Amino acid sequence: MWKNDYNRWKEFTELDADLASKLEELTSDEQSLEDAFYKNLEFGTGGMRGKLGPGTNRMNIYTVRKAAEGLATYVNDQGLSNRGVAIAYDSRYMSKEFAVETARVLGHHGIPSYVFTSLRPTPELSFAVRHLNAAAGVVVTASHNPPEYNGFKAYNEDGGQLPPEQAEIMIDFVNKVENELKVEAADQQELEEKGLLRWIDDDVDAAYLEALKGVTVQPDIKKDLSLVFTPLHGTARDLVEKGLEQSGFTSIHIVEEQAKPDPEFSTVASPNPEEHQAFEMAIDQGKAIGADLLMATDPDADRLGVAVPNEKGEYVVLTGNQTGALLLDYILGQSEQLPKNGLLIKTIVTSEFGRVIANSYGIRSLDTLTGFKFIGEKIREYEQTGEHTFMFGYEESYGYLVKDFARDKDAVQAAVLAAEVGAHWKNQGKTLLDALDELYEKHGYFLEDLQSMKLEGKSGTEQIKAIMDDFRNAEIKEAGGKEVVAIEDYAKTIRKHVQDRTEEEIDLPTSNVVKFILEDDCWFCLRPSGTEPKIKFYYGVKSDTRKESEELLASVKATVNERLHALI
């Protein structure tokens, strides 16, 4: 069946010359050829992402045009075509080309595009959609995937990633495009002359930086803090540096070897601040100058990692849960007056630490499914109803949103606030690790972990299903000596209370996730990956000391792994 698509490409006389040459190279490698054509590159709820190259299962100008055609139909269907679409892109191979191809397809349908002239962070695209009152947005990025990948992320008129209901409509429009090679794209120069392709830059940057001033909680504190920042060859340098400078920081040191955009991400194994190896150069520079704080962003600048020196002078990379807890406590603890209807929004696999901190300030917490689009969706809902005032949103995977002028996780905002938090505690003779220890002493020692199991192919898919079915249907009464008090099945959107056997509905969209709530703020959760052949196991425990929490975490994991290995 895949050979029909291959032949269609092979016989297409107007095929892009570079893609035609690469397609010819594939003819000697049957397996690679099949992989390039055996399916269409899937456009899911987060857009699409894949390897670059020729084929229906690859990122190229034709599959991008197909996605853009679906977006154009979506925008017209919503009656918003006159408002246009904002488009940004990162430092990857073909990113700007794909951005222009998107604009050309939209322009063919009479839809204006607002395209940045050079690479920009994903959160600035979210801001630009709102600032320009656009109908939608697109970011060409593959986040922190390897260099051979690129992607297409779609945003709604609120500046958030498409939530499920909107995503399903657009996915349907994309899937109805029968032949990606036949999607029409207007001439770039003609679109520019007609005002249907408009280049944007300084005005949006200036507006974003003005909004960024609102992230500051204590504008007048002393900011004598030595910072090392690396954008990991991505998009964040300009806005992070300017944001820090306008906030009052003067001792900013950039890791120059990683400051220049580089589609190969040549100095790191993975351009992901969640991976400690990404901090190696920043740590070397930090030690050389005695820096108080290290920060790293991923290529599209929606994730921030933070590292601080311990008492031995060695830099410790904080987890996303730890950084989130510090930012949250600072916002709530240093704000002049907290709203009575204030709200923290986090995901179901993010630490309970945040909820406990918020509760201590009288602030309510709300859990969403994994993915920042759900946090953005809730911000919009409460903005419209006035029921709650958004205070902070975060997820364990290094994503934070401080102010809602963007509707996606924003590492630029997070970097400016993290620096301020570091300065606040330095003024009191403390580091972020000291501040974290104080939070643990006050609220309990929260500790989290994540395990992933890779199960590939058809048999792997069947194994993942069997694991989910087993845990979903088993009567697990305890884990690590902690009693199971409730089981949350997000596929059925049901929370079952174990002791009295009552049930209640979970007011969230369906998702193939099972979470076991244990006593004393402990839990574990199972979730198949939406993008890889993996099943993920999340753990969270709380005890009085680090040692006790480490032992408890090991015990809970052992309980889960014992059952898991019996299944495998």
Average pLDDT value for residue range 348-372: 97
- Pair (357, 503) in one structural domain: no
Residue 225: closest CA among 188, 251, 199, 247: 251
Instruction: Report d(CA 116, CA 103) in Å as an integer.
Output: 11
pLDDT tens sequence across 158-181: 999 998 899 999 999 999 999 999
Mean pLDDT of 204-230: 97
Q: What percent of the chain has pLDDT over 90?
A: 92
Query: Is residue 117 within 8 Å of 199, Cβ to Cβ?
Result: yes
One domain, residues 541 and 399: no
Q: Are residues 189 and 89 in the same domain?
A: yes
On the 0-12 / 13-18 / 19+ scale of CB atoms within 10 A, 272 is buried
Looking at the fold, whether 396 and 458 belong to one and the same domain comes out as no
CB burial of 36-62 (b: ≥16 within 10 Å; e: otherwise) equals bbeebbebebbbbbbbbbbbbbbbbbb
How many of the other CB atoms lie within 10 Å of CB of 318?
19
Other beta carbons within 10 Å of 503: 14
With a CB cutoff of 8 Å and minimum separation 6, the contacts of 68 are 101, 102, 105, 106, 138, 183
Q: Average per-residue pLDDT in the chain? A: 96
Residue 391 has pLDDT above 90, yes or no: yes
With beta carbons less than 8 A apart as the criterion, state whether 151 and 162 touch. Answer: no
pLDDT tens for each residue of 232-268: 999 999 999 999 999 999 999 999 999 999 999 999 9
pLDDT digits (tens, 9 = 90+) for 447-499: 999 999 988 877 888 999 999 999 999 889 999 999 999 999 999 999 999 98
* Cα–Cα distance for residue pair 324/430, rounded to 1 Å: 18
| Domain that residue 389 falls in | 209-443
Q: Give per-residue pLDDT as tens, 14-25.
A: 999 999 999 999
Are 378 and 461 part of one and the same domain? no
pLDDT at position 532 over 80? no
Q: Output the pLDDT for position 456.
A: 80
Residues 229 and 173 in one domain: no
- The single residue of 91, 143, 543, 549 carrying the catalytic annotation is 143
CATH number of the structural domain spanning residue 525: 3.30.310.50
Contact status, residue 273 vs residue 398, Cβ threshold 8 Å: yes
CATH no. for residue 177? 3.40.120.10
54-86, pLDDT tens digit by residue?
999 999 999 999 999 999 999 999 999 999 999
pLDDT at 458: 76
The pLDDT of residue 459: 83
Pair 510, 429 in one domain: no
Residue 228 and residue 126 in one domain = no
Indicate whether 214 and 151 sit together in one domain. no
Examine the domain organization and report whether 122 and 254 are in the same domain: no
Same domain, 224 and 129: no
pLDDT at 529 over 90: no
DSSP 130: H
Assess whether 25 and 140 both reside in one domain.
yes
Is 143 noted as a catalytic residue in this protein?
yes
Chain segment 130-147, per-residue pLDDT in tens: 999 999 999 999 998 899
Domain final residue pick, 419, 443, 467: 443
Beta bridge partners of 448: 540
* Nearest-5° Cα angle at 460, 458 to 466: 110
Of the residues 200, 232, 257, which one is the last residue of a structural domain?
A: 200
**Structural domain count, the chain:** 3
pTM (2 d.p.): 0.95
Model pLDDT, residue 531: 64
What pLDDT is stored for residue 568 in this prediction? 77
**Domain edge (last residue) among 443, 477, 493:** 443
